[in-house]
């Protein structure tokens, strides 16, 4: 697609493997606190499960925009209560650090090489629901070479609202079609396309583990359909 | 200073040499338009001179926050009228491109090496009055390795207002003293210190040319006083 000047990336799932990374952090936390009975993978998946409903209050306007790091902390407390973990046995510092598990997510193996290639020809920015500080620390740890950190906090809104996409297009001083939303999730691309953005799909067939049932293929004729970040770089001429 | 976790940089003057770069762009524009009589250096300096007054309306609240790229364009029109340049002889595309001269500023020679060293130990972000797109394109062209692009547009306010500093500290999820404002301008550091930030001075003795009269020394005992970005990196243990 000739006119694309910038790529905006979904991050959780598309760029980083949140499931294994958060499970690793949960395993360490529960072992340190004498609760090896808590299944760390299930804990990670259920914690992530609270993510979409938590943002709904902000999407509907019932609650003003609140950073994802704040929602992660609120959801952690819900999760700890759900596994009957006595929160008073952990210090505030330990709970804060566990919340920051979301800053310590490993990228998929093709990501750093693929982004580095794409960056030569295009502006590359995250367009994630994560807040700036969370994305910054994750990216610094993982070596993700973004040109800037954008997303829900620069837009002041969560995907898939119109504002989450178009406010960031406006901040980039570009036209919608000049920005290519890049994601492993068909619904993210569907929303982006409805607001005029270009679209690229990257297959992440194990984001949800070996039995994943969703997003196993491109459900529409997206502008690019790729199997990895490196494959996308090749298809985009980088 | 032990607690510093992030450095926020002033950019125009501290990181990039706006005067020579904008003069280069002005020279090309006026030669292309048959007006070699316009002094490009004087034009650059006078264009920059309209920068502070233009932000004042936003600082006072008289006008809502407007991106610097918009103010640059408004000021360009004032400047062209002032040199009796008939704006109808340039296309909209040419005027837009001339406005974007501010995206094509060269860094001082010590900057890329110094920032690269500082980035190993600290979070490094611009905290400039420039907007995100302007900073992004300038940084991509110049190879500035920021961890994120922050500044007036993330804060929604222009320095030296309280919000311009403290909103960005909040977005970084840090305490004011954990963020070190780094600038060649004593007034920027004075404001930052008054809001609790740490401070670093970098001498830029020729920002305003060979006859510079201001900011030739640190006017207070800033936390760091340095002669270049590389010198600062050394003093900060990088």
Q: Distance between CA A137 and CA B5 in Å, rounded?
A: 11
Q: Distance between CA A193 and CA B4 in Å, rounded?
A: 42
Question: Chain A closest CA to B99's CA: distance in Å?
Answer: 13
Q: Give the per-residue SS3 of chain A.
A: CCCCCEEEECCECCCEEHHHHHHHHHHHHHHHCCCCCCCHHHHHHHHHHCHHHHHHHHHHCCCCCCCHHHHHHHHHHHHHHHCCCCHHHCCHHHHHHHHHHHHCCEECCCHHHHHHHHHHHCEEEEEECCCHHHHHHHHHHHCCCCCCCEEHHHHCCCCCCHHHHHHHHHHCCCCHHHEEEEECCHHHHHHHHHCCCEEEEECCCCCCCCCCCCCCCCCCCCCEEECCHHHHHHHCCC
Dump pLDDT digits (tens) for B176-235. Answer: 999 999 999 999 999 999 999 999 999 999 999 999 999 999 999 999 999 999 999 999
Dump pLDDT digits (tens) for A197-229. Answer: 999 999 999 999 999 999 999 999 999 999 999
Contact between chains at A136 and B154 (C-beta distance less than 8 A): no
Q: Which residues of A touch B125 (CB under 8 A)?
A: 136
Which of A8, A72, A148, A154 is the mutation pick for testing B, counting most B CBs within 10 A?
A: A148
For chain A, what is the mean pLDDT? 97
Q: Which residues of A touch B132 (CB under 8 A)?
A: 148, 150, 154, 171-172
Dump pLDDT digits (tens) for B111-165. Answer: 999 999 999 999 999 999 999 999 999 999 999 999 999 999 999 999 999 999 9
Q: Are B6 and B178 in contact (CB under 8 A)?
A: yes
Q: Which residues of B touch A146 (CB under 8 A)?
A: 148
Question: Chain A closest CA to B210's CA: distance in Å?
Answer: 34
Residue B1 in this model has a pLDDT that exceeds 90? no
Contacts with A77 (C-beta within 8 Å, 6 or more apart), sequence order = A87, A95
Residues of A with CB under 8 A from a CB of B: 69, 123, 125, 131-133, 135-137, 139-140, 146-150, 153-154, 171-174
Nearest chain B residue to A173 by CA distance is: B133
Contact between chains at B132 and A139 (C-beta distance less than 8 A): no
Question: Chain A closest CA to B155's CA: distance in Å?
Answer: 10
pLDDT at A1: 84
Residue A172 in this model has a pLDDT that exceeds 90? yes
Dump pLDDT digits (tens) for A7-25. Answer: 999 999 999 999 999 999 9
Closest in B69, B123, B136 to A136, CB measured? B123
At residue B33 the predicted structure's pLDDT band, cuts being 50, 70 and 90, is: very high
At residue A32 the predicted structure's pLDDT band, cuts being 50, 70 and 90, is: very high
pLDDT at B124: 98
Q: Which of B162, B233, B157 lies closest to B202 in space, CA to CA?
A: B233
Query: Nearest 5°: CA angle at B23, between B19 and B25?
Result: 125
DSSP string, B133-154: HHHHHHHHHHT---SS-EEHHH
Contact between chains at A135 and B148 (C-beta distance less than 8 A): yes
ipTM of the complex: 0.96
Burial B37-68 (b: 16+ CB within 10 A, else e): ebebeebbbebbebbeebbeebbeeeeebbbb
Closest in A133, A146, A173 to B172, CB measured? A133
């Amino acid at each position: 697609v000739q006119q694309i000047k910038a790529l905006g990336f979904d991050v959780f799932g598309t760029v980083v493997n949140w499931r294994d990374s958060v499970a690793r952090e949960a395993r360490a936390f529960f072992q340190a606190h004498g609760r090896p009975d808590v299944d760390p993978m299930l804990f990670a998946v259920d914690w992530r499960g609270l993510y979409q409903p938590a943002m709904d209050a902000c999407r509907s306007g019932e609650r003003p925009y609140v950073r994802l790091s704040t929602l992660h902390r609120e959801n952690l407390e819900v999760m700890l209560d759900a596994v009957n973990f006595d929160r008073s046995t952990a210090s505030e510092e330990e709970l804060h650090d566990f919340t920051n598990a979301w800053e310590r997510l490993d990228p998929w193996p093709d990501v750093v090489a693929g982004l580095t290639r794409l960056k030569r020809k295009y502006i590359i920015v995250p367009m994630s629901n994560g807040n700036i500080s969370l994305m910054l620390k994750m990216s610094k740890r993982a070596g993700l070479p973004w040109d800037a950190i954008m997303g829900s906090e620069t837009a002041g809104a969560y995907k898939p609202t119109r504002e989450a996409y178009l406010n960031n297009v406006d901040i980039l001083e570009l036209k919608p079609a000049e920005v290519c939303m890049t994601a492993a999730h068909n619904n993210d691309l569907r929303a982006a396309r409805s607001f005029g953005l270009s679209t690229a799909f990257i297959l992440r067939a194990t984001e949800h583990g070996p039995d994943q049932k969703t997003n196993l293929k491109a459900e529409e004729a997206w502008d690019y359909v790729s199997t990895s970040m490196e494959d996308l770089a090749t298809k985009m001429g980088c």
